[in-house]
Amino acid sequence: MDIKLIQNETDYDAAMVRVSELMDLNPLLHSPESNELEVWATLIEKYEAEQESIDLPSPIEAIKFRMGQMGFNQNDMVDYFGSKAKVSEVLNEKRTLTLAMMRKLVNGLGIPASVFLQDEKVQLDNKNINWLSFPLKDMLKKHYFPDFTGKLAELKELAEEQVKSFFDTVPHSWNLPKAQMKSTAHGDNDKEVNDYALWAWQVKVLQRCQLNNIANFEQDSINLDLMKRIARYSFLDEGPVIVKEFLAKHGIHMIVEPHLDQTYLDGAAFMTEDGHPVVAVTLRYDRLDSFWFTLLHEVGHIALEHVNSKMPFIFDSNLNPDDTEEKEKQANDLASDAFGLKREELLSVLKYADVVQLSNQYDLSPSIIIGQVRRFRKDYRLFSKKMGKVRHLFEI
C-alpha cells in the first residue's frame, strides 16, 4: 500500500488494516517496516485529531445543549455571563465569549475545554493575574490597546484578552517578574506603587525598543566622559530629541514614555533580552532640568553596572537628587559630575544674567543651571519663569 495522506474514512480504514499487518510482523527497530509503521501512526493521529475538531459543536451550541440537559433557562446563566442582557447577547451570538466566561462554563457546567479551544487563539490557562489591577483607564488613554475601540466598561470585561494581546507583542514579557519590580522600585515609601502598572509600562517601553535601530553595546564605553558629552546636548534647543541618536550609536535605547497612574515614575534603567541597556524617562515633570538630570541618572546606573543579570531593572519613582541610598547616591553623583558645575559658582548666582554666563561657559542648558541653583539654595521658586519645558518636543 502506498503511503499517502488520510483524507476520508475509506483511507482511514485502509490505513488501520495496514498498521495491523505491520504490527503482526513485529518489525525490527529502524527496519523499512518499522519506519513505515511510524509514518502510518503519525498520519492516523493527524487524521483523528482533525476529525475530533470537526465533530465538536460550536461553543454556543454546546452551551445551549448543556442548558437543555440541566433544565436551565437564561436566568440560570447570569452567574456565568454577568447579567441577563449579556446572557441574551452571548446566546444570540451578538457578544463574544470572554476567557473568564469560558473558564466558568468549563468549571461550572462541565463543558469540555476542547469546545472553546477550537479557535487556535484561545488559551484557557490562568496566570494567576488580577487583570483588573492594571490601570486600564490610563492604559486606554495612552493607546496601549490601539485596536480596541470600545468604552472603559467593555475594556474591563475584556481586560484579560486585551492585556494579553498587548503583552504578547513583546517576547518574554510574561517572564518579567512582577514581584521583583516592587523590590527594585525606588522612591517615596509613603506612596504605594502599583506593580501591575510598572509591569505594563515596562512592556510598553520594550515594545517601543523593538522599533529602534541600535548599534552594538560596549560596557566600557559608558563612563563619565560619555555622560559629559550627553550633558552638552542640553545646550541645543532640540537636544532632548537629538541625544536619542547619540545614545543609539553607543548601543543604548532611549525611550520617552509617560508614566502610568500609581507608578510615580521619573525614569528607569534596565536591559533587553539581547543585552542592550534601556534608559527611559517619563517627563512626569515638564521641566528641562528634570529631563536632563533623570536621563543622566539612568545612564549613570548603566555606567556603574547597577543593572545586570542579578538586578535586571531599576525604577526611579519620585527621583531625589539628594537621595542617600547607596546606588541612587552613586548615580546622582555621576549625573552631577557630568554637568561639571561647581557649588560655589552656583551659590554665587544672583540674577538671570549669571545663569546665562554659566550656561555659555559650560555649554549647558540654562535650565540645568537653574535647577542646580535651586537645589543648592533650597529655593525652588527661583527663576521659575525662565525654566524651559520639554514635553512639546516629544508631542506629549
Burial class (CB in 10 A: 0-12, 13-18, 19+), 129: middle
pLDDT at 190 over 80: no
Model confidence pLDDT, tens digit, residues 254-299: 999 999 998 899 999 999 988 899 999 999 999 999 999 999 999 9
Distance CA 377, CA 327 (A): 25
pLDDT at 183 over 50: no
The C-alpha cell at 72 is: 436551565
The C-alpha cell at 218 is: 560596549
What is the domain partition of the chain in residue ranges?
9-55, 59-116, 131-167, 173-339
**Mean of pLDDT over the chain:** 87
CATH of domain 59-116: 1.10.260.40
pLDDT at 55 over 70: no
Confidence (pLDDT) at 316 = 85
Query: What's the sign of the alpha-carbon dihedral 22, 26, 31, 35?
Result: positive
What would you report as the CA-atom Rg of the chain, rounded to the nearest whole angstrom? 30
Q: What one-letter code names the amino acid at 24?
A: D
The C-alpha cell at 89 is: 447577547
**How many Cβ atoms from other residues are within 10 Å of residue 255's Cβ?**
20
CB proximity list for 77: less than 8 A, separation 6 or greater:
63, 67, 87, 91
pLDDT at 201 over 80: yes
